[in-house]
Chain A
């Protein structure tokens, strides 16, 4: 009897009316790198994100979790304007980076993306050699001018991505020849190569096996010392392993933000609790 009632309640809460719900928890941090205020995202007429406000602190890992379709990936793609490539996508609100709104008309996406890199769900190395995969982006940006520059950047980036030891003897082989986990680390090296300040990761381990996932998670922990990282993940365990703060999204709303430990041990919002205890999702 209790079970049935419980289930009913969960259902009721999940399907609760969708007027914008206030976020519970502290959205700001002491040393923010990016500040998002009242961000709304629309695909055509459909609103995918409503009034999301959150800070991303320097050298922290912010994990975004939530059931599929909750808008966490959409929000992540707003942060370096990757949504620009989608035809009917519209973003309102403010996302401040270096005190400037990145959606301001004076902002140029090219240098913006050089500062805010991204790693995707499925590893997507370019159809080039391992070396070129890493060297290409710094070269188009003019960071590389000579062969020795390139060699140096390739080596340091691959080292930071923990891939150097595995590939240093076959840099001239195609990037798609690597294993899935290696490909994903290559993509991370590619992102690092242009010296970004923020790295966005969109479920970077969802296509990988547990061993490869563990390696990437270790890598994230190391990268945190130099970069600010926002990671979307569908795995709550992963969020708890890698992140310092966690944001919980539900149907386009940011429901709750807080220190990761607090979210997973003492969630304030009922929806968050239902989700992390596995009542739905």
Chain B
């Protein structure tokens, strides 16, 4: 029956055939729209999945990391008795001892050796440095009592932030019952407080989570990026200008193009191997330094910048070149004074995106020794330094719970840099976008 209708559809008897055809179309519509809906749903779910994952990632980072911006401090009364501070060289006094005696005087009942050690463990080893800085900057009179907010140990910090539960059995938390009682007494005296964590933004790396900061890595990143930018921007633009404006169409140019496109897709770790074998082992450049890191990242980002710059040059219409050539300028003058200024915003955008890529890159830097544990804040291009992503990697590997929140906080700082760089690129693109 159906068969016969269709015969008439394709047959030559036009008018009856047509009416049947539209009937068949209408009959199939429901099924087709179901398929359509399902397909659309898949698309929507895909988008939703990506966005949900992004949200999941960001919230879990923020959730894990926001507490790192606060740090637990303990108020300690430090009695400065005679002889405690060295008269000649106050900086060489036994500050560790002074802190310990101050702690003992707050807890006179603690006498056992083992107990004392557990008591001292509540305070950061950085407390002595804090005391030293206070004494040096503002020498107190002997016999006075300094009231000082000192850093708490990371375990106490975790407890105060709720990352360590008090009600679990003693064996499964890092602070024992005795230590908890001491802390409770501090709390009762209102001697425990969470404050903004300045250490995190001013210190270098440390084995102690409460003393570790991101500033060393930020500076390392800045030095590295300076090297990368100083090299890749001019080189990238020159290369793009040559390839787009001057290069003859021949085999050599083709080879360069293929090379650039391939390099853009070569795994970043391979650039690290190159850096290790050539810059460190062959040229003997210093390990772990922003100089070498910057050069390696420059080689890595160069293809990105060249490709973006070429696209920007391509977008300048040939009529402008022809007009300038028509008034008798040389080809180089045309490019320098007419084409380049018009293409520059696009080139800058590409450069910023390349820089953002380089700023987040880790793998090649592992290869050239930028994973060393570096406490000092780098002061130049040839000082050993860590960069932000490497710092994140190092902290992520540390077992202490307190490093988890610091890792997350460092990620937030890094993402803030990256997102603002990308935002600048987007704004620039919007602002200078020109349609010819």
Asked if A and B touch directly (CB within 8 angstroms), the answer is: yes
**Chain A residues engaging chain B, CB cutoff 8 angstroms:** 108, 110-111, 114-115, 140-145, 149, 152-153, 156, 194-197, 226
> A194-B21, A195-B18, A195-B21 are known contacts. Are A111 and B10 too (CB-CB below 8 A)?
no
User: Would you call B6 and A195 a contact (CB within 8 A)?
Assistant: no
CA distance A112 to B45 in the complex (A): 30
User: Would you call B21 and A110 a contact (CB within 8 A)?
Assistant: no
What's the nearest-Cβ distance from chain A to residue B300, in Å? 37
Which residue of chain B lies nearest to A193 when distances are taken between CB atoms in the complex? Answer: B10
> A110-B32, A149-B6, A195-B9 are known contacts. Are A143 and B25 too (CB-CB below 8 A)?
yes
What's the nearest-Cβ distance from chain B to residue A195, in Å? 4
User: Would you call B28 and A141 a contact (CB within 8 A)?
Assistant: yes
Is residue B17 contacting chain A, with contact meaning CB distance below 8 A?
A: yes
What's the nearest-Cβ distance from chain B to residue A194, in Å? 7
Q: Please, which residues of chain A bring their CB within 8 A of the CB of B22? A: 111, 114-115, 195
A111 touches which one: B2, B12, B17, B26 (CB < 8 A)? B26
Q: Please, which residues of chain B bring their CB within 8 A of the CB of A145? A: 2, 6
User: Would you call A110 and B29 a contact (CB within 8 A)?
Assistant: yes
Q: Please, which residues of chain B bring their CB within 8 A of the CB of A226? A: 14
User: Would you call B6 and A110 a contact (CB within 8 A)?
Assistant: no
User: Would you call A141 and B24 a contact (CB within 8 A)?
Assistant: yes
| A contacts with B: majority SS | loop
Which residue of chain A lies nearest to B28 when distances are taken between CB atoms in the complex? Answer: A142
> A115-B22, A143-B6 are known contacts. Are A108 and B32 too (CB-CB below 8 A)?
no
User: Would you call B29 and A143 a contact (CB within 8 A)?
Assistant: no
What's the nearest-Cβ distance from chain A to residue B21, in Å? 4
Interface size class of B (residues with CB under 8 A): 10 to 19
User: Would you call B10 and A153 a contact (CB within 8 A)?
Assistant: yes
Q: Please, which residues of chain A bring their CB within 8 A of the CB of B190? A: none
User: Would you call B32 and A140 a contact (CB within 8 A)?
Assistant: yes
User: Would you call A110 and B25 a contact (CB within 8 A)?
Assistant: yes
What's the nearest-Cβ distance from chain B to residue A281, in Å? 27
CA distance A153 to B24 in the complex (A): 15
Which residue of chain B lies nearest to A149 when distances are taken between CB atoms in the complex? Answer: B6
Q: Please, which residues of chain A bring their CB within 8 A of the CB of B26? A: 111
User: Would you call A156 and B10 a contact (CB within 8 A)?
Assistant: yes
User: Would you call A111 and B6 a contact (CB within 8 A)?
Assistant: no
CA distance A196 to B27 in the complex (A): 16
B282-309 residues with Cβ-Cβ distance < 8 A to A are none
User: Would you call A114 and B6 a contact (CB within 8 A)?
Assistant: no
B24 touches which one: A110, A142, A152 (CB < 8 A)? A142
CA distance A114 to B32 in the complex (A): 14
Q: Please, which residues of chain A bring their CB within 8 A of the CB of B29? A: 108, 110-111
Which residue of chain A lies nearest to B36 when distances are taken between CB atoms in the complex? Answer: A110
User: Would you call B18 and A111 a contact (CB within 8 A)?
Assistant: no
Q: Which of B10, B17, B28, B29 has the most C-beta atoms of chain A within 10 angstroms of its own C-beta? A: B10
When each residue 27-65 of chain B gets 1 if its CB lies under 8 Å from chain A and 0 otherwise, what string results? 111001000000000000000000000000000000000
Can you list 29 A-B contacts (CB < 8 A)? A108-B29, A110-B29, A111-B22, A111-B25, A111-B26, A111-B29, A114-B21, A115-B22, A140-B32, A141-B25, A141-B28, A142-B24, A142-B27, A143-B21, A143-B24, A143-B25, A145-B2, A145-B6, A149-B6, A149-B10, A156-B10, A156-B12, A194-B25, A195-B9, A195-B17, A195-B18, A195-B22, A197-B18, A226-B14
Given contacts A141-B24, A142-B24, 18 further A-B contacts (CB under 8 A): A108-B29, A110-B32, A111-B22, A111-B25, A111-B26, A114-B21, A141-B25, A143-B6, A143-B21, A145-B6, A152-B10, A153-B9, A156-B10, A194-B21, A194-B25, A195-B9, A196-B18, A197-B18
Which residue of chain A lies nearest to B27 when distances are taken between CB atoms in the complex? Answer: A142
What's the nearest-Cβ distance from chain A to residue B205, in Å? 53
A143 touches which one: B9, B12, B32 (CB < 8 A)? B9
Pick the 7 closest A-B CB pairs, nearest first.
Answer: A142-B28, A195-B21, A141-B25, A152-B10, A226-B14, A111-B25, A114-B25
